[in-house]
Structure 1
Amino acid sequence: MSLLVLTSDDVEAIICAFQSQNLQLIMAKVFSRFSLLEKKSYSDKSIDFLPDISMPERLSIATANHTALFMPARIGSHNPASLGDTAVKVVCVSKEGSSRGLPSSTLVINEETGSIKAIVNSRKLTAIRNAAGSLLSTCLMKCFQPQSIVAFGAGQQIEAHLDLHIQHFYSIKRCTIINRSRNNRALQLEKNIKTRFPHVECNLLAASSDSSDTARRTEALRSADLIICATSSATPLFSSDHVKTGTHIILIGSYTPQMQEVDGNLIRRALLSGTVLVDSKRDCLREAGELIGAGLTSKELTEIGDLIPTDLQGNIEMEKYEALMGGIPVEETPKDIERTFDGPVTIFKSVGLGIQDVAIASAVVEKALDQGKGISVAGYDRPASERGHISGAE
């Protein structure tokens, strides 16, 4: 049994081969099956299919310099020819903090043999799967022809989000990156966006209160159609008064009750649209500081998976899905309206699901096998019966 090893360069090359629509569909399948499982757990009699999903609690082990996190998950298969996909992501979080990102690898298991099928460098995969889910939310919330995008942070999460959104929406003409300072990572991100998307005006602004960029930050926010936040801030990054009606806000940074990227007023403005969109009601009400601080209840949240059209067996109804994602004709796009700063906005809050890691890693492995990419280690798990007798030292 051979083992496939995918380096960070391999993964980056493979991811580039996916179109944004492909990545969105992968996440749509994940979210829809998760929400079906949640409904079934509440004895929803309308569902006669029980999704085969497993997401045990993550295991944390302290080492000398890091905290090692082990996150197993499994997605069973609809396809009788496939058993499903199981993976374990291992992430090491530096105790001192690091600007180099988090070392991360995913082990993908061959469900037929029980052997390790692949080891995938997943430094960027978490960011990619989060960005794909966020892009799905942007399309589902009908953010038509956005022209201006504002991003808080300068890490891999923000880079992946900007990359996918600008790829998908050709209408985006302005991009503003707001970071704590103009550090090397932020400057490199600004350079990358300008290089990849020369048609987009990209500006990097510092977030400190004494910065000369204060007026420019406010104006960027006031004109933003999309705002993406990926920080660990414990205080709101900006005032709700600076966000215009109709803006779509993506929140992926906070993961504890003490973290809060936006204020309660903005959360309540999202309720004017009818709901706040989340990946998991249960996890967001337990971990997302913004929603906890605003006192939201489960009834005020909608899981993104609930918006995906599926049949009672959990299969996405592709015709309805494609119509939903296709938006409306350009000539029917809502005309510019008077700019206000107290009306409805839309919000997507994500804390992440383990099965997203399984889905994206498995998709990358399958694409690598099709393209012949990666390093194949032959005989990695050859049983003793196939190796012949090995004599010991005499």
Structure 2
Amino acid sequence: MRVISDAQINKLLLPLKARGVEDFQRVLYTALAKYHGDHTLIPERIVVNRPELDAVHFFMPTFSDRVGIKTLGGSKKGFEGAVMIMDENTGILKGVLSARAITGFRTALCSTIPLMKFIDRDARDQVMTVFGNGLQAYWHVKLTLELFPSYFKKVQIAVRSVNDKSKELLDRLQNEYPQVEFPLDDEKEVDLSTSNVIYGCVPSTEPRILFDKLGIDNHKVFISIIGSYKPHMFEVDDKIVQTAMSNGKIIVDSYDHTLHEAGELIKNNVTPQNCVEIGELENLTPADINGGSNLTLSKIVGLAIMDISVGNEILERAEKLDIGTVVEF
């Protein structure tokens, strides 16, 4: 059994360029396509929430090519967890991986799968805006810039307040991508009218991304929101949801999970008929989804099958490179 730390996972993921990201996209898409065909691949998760505990604990089993379970504990200090991968035929534990980097990476990877269809490939000097200053924001920006290295001139980082965490994100991105501008803005002041790609990575209880601030009359706008994961959370306003729904379909990772967890979709009575799952995108055209309009909306709540499929790929690569610690079990 191999134990792989967060630092070791980053060692595998951070050097990825476009082709490497696309390889991981294919792994993730294959798992999501299987899930689209059979929702029983993700059983009901178990939640332990007791008054004597300082954290809420989640246990999320799933099956892709391997059987696995993701554990997650949420406290005032944030979320911590692990990804455990078992042999699907014997139950032997093959690997235990830190969930920190995997969670941010696989979610951003999921956002970029539909982006491959909807980005304007004829436009250069595009603008990206990301709401948030954590690992999810970092990985969304990083993967997009790696996949489209000559497309973006500016990435706006929109935050509630400029603090040490947001400055750390800014410094990290500036060091990795010196050819790109990275203005750090108050989220209430950020200019969305020039943004081609917008990522919402904030667990907000009120909308941060507003329809009237978008520039859809002038160019295509792709929005992927991943921060709102409870019914009382909202990242985009009603008009964005209603416009995306009336023009075509909203992209989701799961009908079942997204429509029970995402506040924006629940409030606007979005049904499975108003959505397409990421696992069925391969057979659809952009017009099938957004009706030929300039607005495309994706909402991702995150599924354990993402962690297990991506985690298994990381485990196999780590085995080949002898990364991690092998222990008897």
TM-score, normalised with respect to structure 2: 0.89
Give the counterpart of 2:93 among 108, 113, 116.
116
SS of equivalent to 1:124: helix
What does the per-residue CA deviation read over 1:65-113, in whole Å, with 9 as the maximum and x for residues that have no partner? 22222111112xxxxxxxx30111111111xx22xx4221111113344
Residues in 1 aligned to 2:224 and 2:32: alpha-carbon distance in whole angstroms: 16
Give the counterpart of 2:308 among 333, 338, 358.
358
Residue 35 of structure 1 corresponds to 36
Residue 374 of structure 1 corresponds to 324
One-letter amino acid matched to 2:304: G
Q: Does residue 1:127 correspond to 2:115, yes or no? A: no
Q: How many residues align?
A: 313
What does the per-residue CA deviation read over 1:137-181, in whole Å, with 9 as the maximum and x for residues that have no partner? 111234434611001011111111111001111211100111111
Q: Report if aligned partners of 2:131, 2:157 keep a CA contact under 8 Å in 1.
A: yes
Q: Report if aligned partners of 1:6, 1:118 keep a CA contact under 8 Å in 2.
A: yes
Q: Does residue 1:56 correspond to 2:44, yes or no? A: yes
SS of equivalent to 1:64: coil
How much is the aligned-residue C-alpha RMSD, in angstroms? 2.0
Give the counterpart of 1:141 among 108, 113, 118.
118
Residues in 2 aligned to 1:74 and 1:198: alpha-carbon distance in whole angstroms: 41
What does the per-residue CA deviation read over 1:105-141, in whole Å, with 9 as the maximum and x for residues that have no partner? 1111133442221111111101111111100011123
SS of equivalent to 1:176: strand
Residues in 2 aligned to 1:122 and 1:353: alpha-carbon distance in whole angstroms: 13
Larger Rg: 1
For structure 2, which runs of at least 5 residues remain unmatched after alignment? 287-292
Q: Report if aligned partners of 1:87, 1:107 keep a CA contact under 8 Å in 2.
A: yes
Q: 1:132 to 1:151 in 2, by over 3 A?
A: same
Q: Does residue 1:345 correspond to 2:295, yes or no? A: yes
Q: 1:151 to 1:16 in 2, by over 3 A?
A: same
Residue 92 of structure 1 corresponds to 73
For structure 1, which runs of at least 5 residues remain unmatched after alignment? 39-51, 76-83, 310-320, 326-342, 382-394
Q: Report if aligned partners of 1:270, 1:344 keep a CA contact under 8 Å in 2.
A: no
Q: Report if aligned partners of 2:119, 2:222 keep a CA contact under 8 Å in 1.
A: no
Q: Report if aligned partners of 1:87, 1:106 keep a CA contact under 8 Å in 2.
A: yes
1:1-394 mapped onto 2 (5 Å cutoff): 3-16=1-14, 18=16, 19-38=20-39, 53-62=41-50, 64-75=53-64, 84-94=65-75, 97-98=76-77, 101-144=78-121, 145=123, 147-170=126-149, 171-207=151-187, 214=189, 217-218=190-191, 221-245=192-216, 246-309=220-283, 344-377=294-327, 380-381=328-329
One-letter amino acid matched to 1:355: I
- Say which is worse superposed, 150-159 or 290-299, in terms of deviation: 290-299
One-letter amino acid matched to 1:26: V
Query: How far did residue 272 of structure 1 move?
Result: 4.9
TM-score, normalised with respect to structure 1: 0.75
Residues in 1 aligned to 2:253 and 2:176: alpha-carbon distance in whole angstroms: 30
Q: Report if aligned partners of 2:226, 2:301 keep a CA contact under 8 Å in 1.
A: yes
SS of equivalent to 1:103: strand
Residues in 2 aligned to 1:202 and 1:142: alpha-carbon distance in whole angstroms: 20
Q: Report if aligned partners of 2:111, 2:224 keep a CA contact under 8 Å in 1.
A: yes
- Name the % identity: 25
One-letter amino acid matched to 2:30: K
